[in-house]
């Protein structure tokens, strides 16, 4: 078997085959799995690259270009965190602070705020170096400490960063009367200079897109290369067992610090570009929600896996955009729901049974409520998008949407929790019920508040993923010795 | 002098709240060696429950029961309700992960934290609710020692916080569950071999930890009034820091760490700068990490893993 020869560090034969055993699945998911296995990594990267170039050449829609540029920045961040957490296994919860630092540093060196207008080829490399140095400083007190302590120091660092930025709008320097506004406080810094390379002034997200593409290609190649060097291998051994690797003569502390610094530098680079695209910086963008989004992306794709990070970044960055449009979000929701039922049912027969039960339950409730003359919310107010226009003939929406939606939401969470411990026999009937309540809650509450919904989905995803598939979609199963 | 005294009283009140949160982190860490990132949001739920109990009893101005009974009910119901939530969280988010990799429970906790925060925002809306304490406990009530006045809200909080901490130490030292908890913290495998029901002890740990956080949440509501879905993050972080400063896993450490953090924060706010108080707390954390990496009360950890 050729797979056995290139087993990586941290995997053993049984585990590697375990993945394969899992792969042979029946039903709808089995088909998808088979499709996935037929394509080799090189071809995948090539397809991705061609798609990216084609997008840059043919798409001129401003909104789409903006989304693509944001995705690019997010990809850099995800790849950077993948080095820190995926390769070296460090729980760096101050990662976004470095991103924010890079953005603010660019803003301060390229705006009227401090009246500094540095050339891009000077400011960006300088900022990356300074951010790396900041990473070094933060890693100093935590260098001898493992996991949990690093987490608290970095988490607090992120909090301090936010407070410093917000409060640095009126600093009184010794020897001067009036206070100086450095960061603009919560108002942020508007009106930044765009990037200028060799006399070419960047005009919009489309220009940054090409820059990001070049950086991403270089970054991905660099990370893949580093992964195969002594340092890359050493990072993984430290991640798996730092005591054993220390015994092998690996300088654990230095390697941890190196990973931390590399991560900080990459985040700083992403920050400068982000500031360039945005034309302005605000502190709002650099706090917990973004951090959880990046973590979710790395973990979803598979911590330590580069294709995994890319996949995770796509999902986490495109998902919110889709959720913003009601029609797309409904379609996405329904397809995910159907896929979940398929995955849990494991066979076509059960799948058909579950789906028809959902339809019957809905129809029954609809007929019952209209026979009893229970007041509904007029369909015209909620069935706006094509999908919900179809749903309105089947779904019962009571008059007080807000209240019943909230009640159903609590019910939904409880049902899902109960499902995880229920017996197989009950599960079969519970699943259609959950699906119905989910659709009900979606149309009642979730579709109205896309931001909260997105966060809820991410939270749920993280918990479920950790229980069902802790290695993420494309990650490798690891055996951890505790 | 009176200013210093006032700041110390404020610091101890704040510190009592932090200490209660820190205890939840330390208890869970002692038994399971995981960091319960969702603890700050459990605290938020506690504050909300207290608020709804207040509302159910007629609201701050038209309460149907006398004020002491209302306060008692607010604390009791919120603590029991939130404690049960703690058990539920453990059952569904942590127990399936027992024995998996070290990072998995952390990520799961992060997920629970996001889930709780956004569920609260969805159900309770993003508006900031107010306990409106001054309507039922006049801010002028209280007594003074010399120039220092302690208002009755602060007295209630101080007495309750120290009372709860005392009760907790008695519970851990005297009861069977407390003894089992200490045994598990020392050596889990040996404890299981001695016939200790580990699931039961873990349930108790989460119940007590969440209940203490709920008490802290209600206290914070009484003290600062505002309650909102995002309120858990910063106190959670501070409680976490307090637990680390005191030595994570150590009960007296969490109490001392919380009080120290509260006093330091209050003094820096009073004498140095309101805007940069977190920065000084951060410096305190770094200093403790450098000088005593295992915290003030922590035992020297044997590093393996």
- DSSP helix/strand/coil, A189: strand
Q: How many Å apart are CA B180 and CA B188, to the nearest integer?
A: 10
Residue A166 C-alpha, separation from nearest chain B C-alpha, in angstroms: 9
Task: Quickly count: other Cβ atoms within 10 Å of residue A420's Cβ.
Answer: 14
pLDDT at A216: 92
Q: How many Å apart are CA B205 and CA B172, to the nearest integer?
A: 10
Q: A-chain residues within 8 Å CB-CB of B273? A: 167
**DSSP state letters, B150-166:** EEHHHHHHHHHHHHHHH
SS3 per-residue string spanning B197-256: CHHHHHHHHHHHHHHHHHHHHHHHHHHHCEECCCCCHHHHHHHHHHHHHHCCCCHHHHHH
pLDDT band, residue A373 (cuts 50/70/90): confident
Chain-chain contact of B108 with A463 (C-beta, under 8 angstroms): yes
The answer to whether the beta carbons of residues B45 and B2 sit under 8 Å apart is no
Q: How many helices (H) and strands (E) does chain B have?
A: 11, 4
pLDDT at A28: 56
Per-domain residue ranges of chain A: 39-324, 328-448
Q: What is the pLDDT of residues A169-196, one digit of tens each?
A: 777 666 666 677 777 777 788 878 888 7
Determine the length of chain B: 305
pLDDT band, residue A222 (cuts 50/70/90): very high
pLDDT at B217: 93
Q: Find the helix packing angle between A306-324 and A450-468, rounded to 10°.
A: 150
Least reliable range by pLDDT among A282-291, A471-480, B191-200 = A471-480
Chain A residue at shortest CA distance from B104: A466
| Burial (CB count <10 Å: 0-12, 13-18, 19+), residue A77 | buried
Q: By C-alpha distance, which of A84, A251, A99, A104 is closest to A151?
A: A84
pLDDT at A24: 52
Q: Average pLDDT, stretch A431-443?
A: 85
Residue A423: is its pLDDT beyond 70? Answer: yes
Q: Is the Cβ of B125 closer than 8 Å to some Cβ of chain A?
A: no
Q: Is the Cβ of A157 closer than 8 Å to some Cβ of chain B?
A: yes
The answer to whether the beta carbons of residues B214 and B43 sit under 8 Å apart is yes
Least reliable range by pLDDT among A121-130, A187-196, B232-241 = A187-196
Q: How many Å apart are CA B225 and CA A265, to the nearest integer?
A: 42
Compare B206 and A19 and report the one with higher pLDDT: B206
pLDDT band, residue B209 (cuts 50/70/90): very high
Q: How many Å apart are CA B110 and CA B108, to the nearest integer?
A: 5
Identify the H or E element spanning B182.
helix B176-186
Task: Quickly count: other Cβ atoms within 10 Å of residue A352's Cβ.
Answer: 11
Least reliable range by pLDDT among A26-40, A116-130, A144-158 = A26-40
pLDDT at A30: 60
Q: Average pLDDT, stretch B79-99?
A: 89
Least reliable range by pLDDT among A130-144, A442-456, B168-182 = A442-456
Q: Where are the alpha helices (DSSP H) in A241-374?
A: 242-247, 252-278, 288-301, 306-324, 326-345, 348-371
Q: How many Å apart are CA A6 and CA B291, to the nearest integer?
A: 45
Q: How many Å apart are CA A216 and CA A90, to the nearest integer?
A: 23
Q: Is the Cβ of A156 closer than 8 Å to some Cβ of chain B?
A: yes
Residue B115: is its pLDDT beyond 80? Answer: yes
Q: How many Å apart are CA B112 and CA B110, to the nearest integer?
A: 5
Task: Quickly count: other Cβ atoms within 10 Å of residue B88's Cβ.
Answer: 15
pLDDT band, residue A33 (cuts 50/70/90): low
Interface test with B, best of A463, A475, A481 (most B CBs within 10 A): A463
pLDDT at A2: 43
Task: Quickly count: other Cβ atoms within 10 Å of residue A277's Cβ.
Answer: 25
Residue B303: is its pLDDT beyond 60? Answer: no
Chain-chain contact of B289 with A149 (C-beta, under 8 angstroms): yes
Q: Find the helix packing angle between A205-228 and A41-58, rounded to 10°.
A: 170
Q: Tell which B residues from 221 to 280 touch A, by Cβ distance under 8 Å.
A: 233-234, 237, 240-241, 244, 248, 273, 275-276, 278-279
Q: By C-alpha distance, which of B90, B106, B85, B114 is closest to B217?
A: B85
Q: What is the pLDDT of residues A62-95, one digit of tens each?
A: 888 888 888 999 999 999 999 998 888 888 888 9
Q: How many helices (H) and strands (E) does chain A have?
A: 21, 4
pLDDT band, residue B213 (cuts 50/70/90): very high
Q: By C-alpha distance, which of A358, A281, A65, A151 is closest to B236?
A: A151
Q: How many Å apart are CA A336 and CA A328, to the nearest integer?
A: 12
Structure tokens at A141: 């007190």
Backbone angles phi, psi at A130, to 5 degrees: -65, -40
Q: How many Å apart are CA B84 and CA B96, to the nearest integer?
A: 18
Q: How many Å apart are CA B124 and CA B232, to the nearest integer?
A: 15
Q: By C-alpha distance, which of A379, A386, A381 is closest to A327?
A: A386
pLDDT, averaged across chain B? 85
For chain A, how far is it from start to end, CA to CA, in angstroms?
30
- DSSP helix/strand/coil, B118: helix
Chain-chain contact of B293 with A163 (C-beta, under 8 angstroms): no
pLDDT at A4: 46
Q: Is the Cβ of B103 closer than 8 Å to some Cβ of chain A?
A: yes
CATH class of A39-324: mainly alpha
- DSSP helix/strand/coil, B142: strand
The answer to whether the beta carbons of residues A101 and A131 sit under 8 Å apart is yes
Q: Average pLDDT, stretch A366-382?
A: 76
- Identify the top-confidence range among A73-77, A359-363, A430-434, B97-101: A73-77
Residue B66 C-alpha, separation from nearest chain A C-alpha, in angstroms: 31
DSSP state of B232: T
Q: How many Å apart are CA B276 and CA A458, to the nearest integer?
A: 32
For chain B, how far is it from start to end, CA to CA, in angstroms?
50
Structure tokens at A208: 């940054």
Chain B residue at shortest CA distance from A161: B279
Q: What is the pLDDT of residues A392-419, one digit of tens each?
A: 777 777 777 778 888 888 888 888 888 8
Q: How many Å apart are CA A54 and CA A57, to the nearest integer?
A: 5
Chain-chain contact of A299 with B107 (C-beta, under 8 angstroms): yes
Identify the residue whose tokens are 């294709």: A307
pLDDT at A129: 95
Q: How many Å apart are CA A18 and CA A475, to the nearest integer?
A: 13
Q: What is the pLDDT of residues B8-52, one digit of tens each?
A: 888 899 999 999 999 999 998 888 888 888 999 999 999 999 999
Chain-chain contact of A160 with B278 (C-beta, under 8 angstroms): yes
Q: Is the Cβ of B205 closer than 8 Å to some Cβ of chain A?
A: no
pLDDT at A128: 94
Distance of CA A255 to the CA centre of its chain: 26
Identify the H or E element spanning A196.
strand A196-197
Residue A320: is its pLDDT beyond 70? Answer: yes
Q: What is the pLDDT of residues A264-282, one digit of tens each?
A: 999 999 999 999 888 888 8
Q: Average pLDDT, stretch A335-362?
A: 82
Percentages (nearest 5) of helix, strand, coil residues in chain A = 70, 5, 25
Residue B85: is its pLDDT beyond 90? Answer: yes
Q: What is the dihedral of CA B284, B285, B288, B294, to 10 degrees?
A: 160
Q: A-chain residues within 8 Å CB-CB of B111? A: 458-463, 466
- Identify the top-confidence range among A1-10, A29-38, A288-297, A383-392: A288-297
Residue A389: is its pLDDT beyond 90? Answer: no
Identify the residue whose tokens are 């259609």: A432
Interface A–B counts its CB contacts (< 8 A) at 142
The answer to whether the beta carbons of residues A16 and A1 sit under 8 Å apart is no
- Is the predicted ipTM greater than 0.85, yes or no? no
Chain-chain contact of B282 with A156 (C-beta, under 8 angstroms): yes
pLDDT band, residue B141 (cuts 50/70/90): low
pLDDT at A252: 84
SS3 per-residue string spanning A131-156: HHHHHHHHHCCCCCCCHHHHHHHHHH
Task: Quickly count: other Cβ atoms within 10 Å of residue A54's Cβ.
Answer: 10
Identify the residue whose tokens are 């505002």: B226
Chain A residue at shortest CA distance from B92: A417
């Amino acid at each position: 078997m050729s797979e056995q020869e290139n087993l990586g560090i941290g995997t053993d034969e049984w585990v590697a085959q375990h993945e394969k055993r899992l792969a042979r699945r029946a039903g709808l998911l089995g088909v998808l799995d088979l499709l996935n296995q037929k394509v080799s990594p090189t071809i995948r990267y090539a397809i991705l690259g061609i798609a990216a170039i084609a997008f840059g050449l043919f798409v001129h829609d401003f909104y789409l270009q903006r989304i693509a540029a944001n995705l690019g920045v997010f990809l850099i961040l995800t790849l950077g965190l993948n080095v820190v957490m995926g390769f070296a296994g460090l729980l760096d919860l101050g990662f976004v602070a470095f991103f924010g630092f890079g953005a603010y540093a660019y803003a301060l060196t390229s705006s009227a705020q401090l009246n500094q207008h540095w050339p891009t080829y000077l400011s960006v490399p300088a900022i990356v170096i300074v951010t790396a140095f900041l990473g070094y400083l933060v890693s100093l007190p935590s260098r001898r400490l493992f996991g949990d302590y690093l987490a608290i120091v970095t988490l607090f660092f992120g909090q301090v960063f936010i407070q410093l930025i917000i409060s640095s709008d009126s600093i009184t320097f010794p020897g001067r009367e009036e206070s100086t506004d450095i960061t603009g406080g919560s108002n942020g810094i508007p009106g930044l200079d765009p990037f200028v390379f060799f006399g070419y002034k960047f005009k919009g997200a489309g220009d940054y897109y090409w820059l990001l593409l070049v950086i991403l290609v270089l970054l991905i190649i660099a990370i893949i290369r580093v992964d195969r060097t002594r340092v890359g291998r050493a990072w993984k051994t430290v991640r798996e067992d730092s005591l054993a690797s220390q015994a092998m003569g690996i300088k654990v502390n230095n390697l941890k610090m190196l990973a931390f610094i590399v991560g900080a530098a990459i985040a700083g680079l992403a920050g400068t570009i982000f500031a360039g695209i945005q034309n302005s910086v605000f502190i709002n963008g650099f706090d917990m929600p973004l951090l959880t989004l990046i973590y979710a992306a790395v973990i979803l794709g598979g911590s330590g896996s580069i294709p995994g990070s890319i996949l995770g970044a796509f999902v986490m960055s495109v998902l919110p955009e889709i959720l913003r449009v009601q029609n797309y979000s409904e379609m996405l929701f329904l397809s995910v729901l159907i896929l979940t039922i398929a995955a849990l049912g494991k066979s076509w027969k059960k799948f058909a049974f579950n789906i028809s039960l959902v339809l019957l339950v809905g129809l029954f409730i609809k007929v019952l409520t209209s026979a009893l003359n229970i007041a509904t919310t007029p369909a015209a107010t909620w069935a706006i998008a094509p999908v919900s226009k179809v749903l309105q003939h089947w779904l019962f929406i009571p008059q007080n949407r807000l209240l019943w939606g909230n009640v159903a939401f609590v019910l939904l969470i409880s049902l899902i929790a109960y499902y995880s411990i229920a017996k197989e026999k009950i599960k079969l009937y519970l699943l259609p019920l959950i699906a119905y309540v989910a659709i009900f809650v979606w149309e009642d509450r979730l579709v109205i508040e896309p931001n909260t919904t997105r966060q809820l989905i991410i939270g749920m995803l993280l918990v479920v993923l950790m229980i069902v598939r802790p290695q993420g979609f494309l990650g490798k199963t690891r055996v951890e010795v505790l | 002098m009176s200013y210093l005294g006032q700041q110390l009283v404020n610091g101890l009140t704040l510190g009592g709240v932090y200490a209660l949160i820190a205890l939840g982190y330390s208890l869970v860490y002692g038994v399971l060696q995981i960091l319960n990132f969702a603890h700050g949001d459990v605290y938020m739920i506690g504050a909300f429950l207290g608020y709804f109990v207040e509302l159910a009893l007629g609201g701050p101005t038209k309460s149907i029961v006398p004020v002491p009974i209302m306060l008692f009910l607010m604390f009791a119901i919120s603590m029991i309700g939130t404690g049960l939530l703690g058990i539920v969280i453990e059952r569904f988010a942590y127990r399936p992960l027992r024995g998996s990799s070290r990072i998995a429970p952390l990520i799961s906790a992060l997920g629970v934290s996001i889930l709780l925060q956004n569920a609260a925002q969805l159900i309770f809306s993003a508006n900031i609710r107010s306990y409106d304490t001054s309507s039922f406990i006049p801010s002028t009530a209280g007594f003074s020692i010399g120039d220092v006045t302690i208002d009755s809200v602060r007295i209630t909080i101080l007495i309750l916080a120290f009372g709860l901490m005392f009760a907790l130490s008695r519970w851990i030292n005297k009861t069977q569950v407390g003894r089992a908890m200490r045994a598990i913290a020392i050596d889990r495998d040996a404890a299981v071999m001695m016939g200790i029901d580990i699931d039961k002890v873990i349930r108790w740990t989460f119940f007590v930890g969440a209940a203490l956080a709920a008490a802290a949440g209600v206290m914070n509501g009484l003290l600062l009034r505002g309650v909102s879905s995002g309120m858990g993050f910063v106190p959670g972080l501070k409680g976490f820091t307090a637990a680390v400063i005191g030595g994570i896993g150590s009960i007296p450490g969490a109490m001392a760490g919380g009080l120290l953090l509260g006093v330091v924060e209050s003094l820096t706010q009073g004498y140095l700068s309101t805007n940069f108080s977190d920065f000084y707390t951060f410096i305190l954390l770094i200093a403790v990490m450098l000088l005593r990496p295992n915290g003030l009360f922590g035992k020297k950890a044997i590093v393996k893993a």
